[in-house]
Structure 1
Amino acid sequence: MNQRIVEVKNPHGLHARPAALFVQKAASFPGKIVVEKGGKEADAKSILGIMSMGIECGDTITLKGEGDQIEPVFDALEAIAQDTSL
């Protein structure tokens, strides 16, 4: 399983619009992607799962997934988590 640690820089964290974009991008990948924060894990394709984690600006999350094309998806998810304009 591949992993990437990401610091959330979006000033609102992964709430509402950023969370929706995050989930849409994760859903475009056919394999499983999991987000971990503080020992809790959620399916990256679940808006309720992401929102329930309470991911805020400055938090560190770990993206976990498998598949041939996982790195570009990790890149896109990291860009959403770090986008300060959303």
Structure 2
Amino acid sequence: MMVTKQIVVTLTNGLHSINAQSFVQRALAFQSEIKVVRHSRIVDGKSLLGLLSLGIANGNVVTVKAEGSDEKEAVAILTSFLKSEIEFE
């Protein structure tokens, strides 16, 4: 099964290089396969270049998908980060 959640990004500067790096580092900690979707483009959530290529800005709608043993936790934590609810080190 796959867990999917669509959210509006509320990071002040969007997913610029530092935030994208934090996102990828956190995504790599999960065993699940993670995808980030914007418009019709789907990229690997564990790929810094892939994420940056989406040009995700504050206010954009994105979908985070995860499939694997820790998919629920992965989607919950990664979407909370994109919504500025939690910060990663």
The normalised TM-score by structure 1 is 0.90
Distance apart, 1:6 and its partner CA: 1.6
Matches within 5 A, 1:31-50: 31-50=32-51
Residue 62 (structure 2) pairs with residue 61 (structure 1): yes
Structure 1 moving runs of 4+ over 3 Å: none
Contact 2:36 2:44 (C-alpha < 8 Å) held by counterparts: yes
Count of matched residue pairs: 86
Q: Kindly provide the CA deviation profile for residues 7-52 of structure 1, in whole angstroms up to 9, marking residues without a partner as x.
A: 1000111111111111111111112110000000100000000001
Question: What letter corresponds to residue 53 of structure 1 in structure 2?
Answer: L
TM-score normalised per structure 2:
0.87
**C-alpha RMSD of matched pairs (Å):** 1.7
* Partner Cα separation in structure 1 for residue 73 and residue 81 of structure 2: 13
Contact (CA 8 Å) 2:34, 2:64: kept in 1 or not?
yes
User: Aligned runs of 1:64-83 on 2, under 5 Å?
Assistant: 64-83=65-84
C-alpha displacement of 1:85:
9.0
Contact 1:21/1:80 (<8 A) preserved: no
Whether contact under 8 Å (2:31, 2:70) holds in the other structure is no
Aligned residue type for 1:49: G
User: How far apart are the structure 1 equivalents of 2:86 and 2:27?
Assistant: 20
Q: Which runs of 5+ in 1 are unaligned?
A: none
Task: Describe the shift of the 1:85–1:71 C-alpha distance in structure 2 as closer, same or farther (beyond 3 A).
Answer: closer
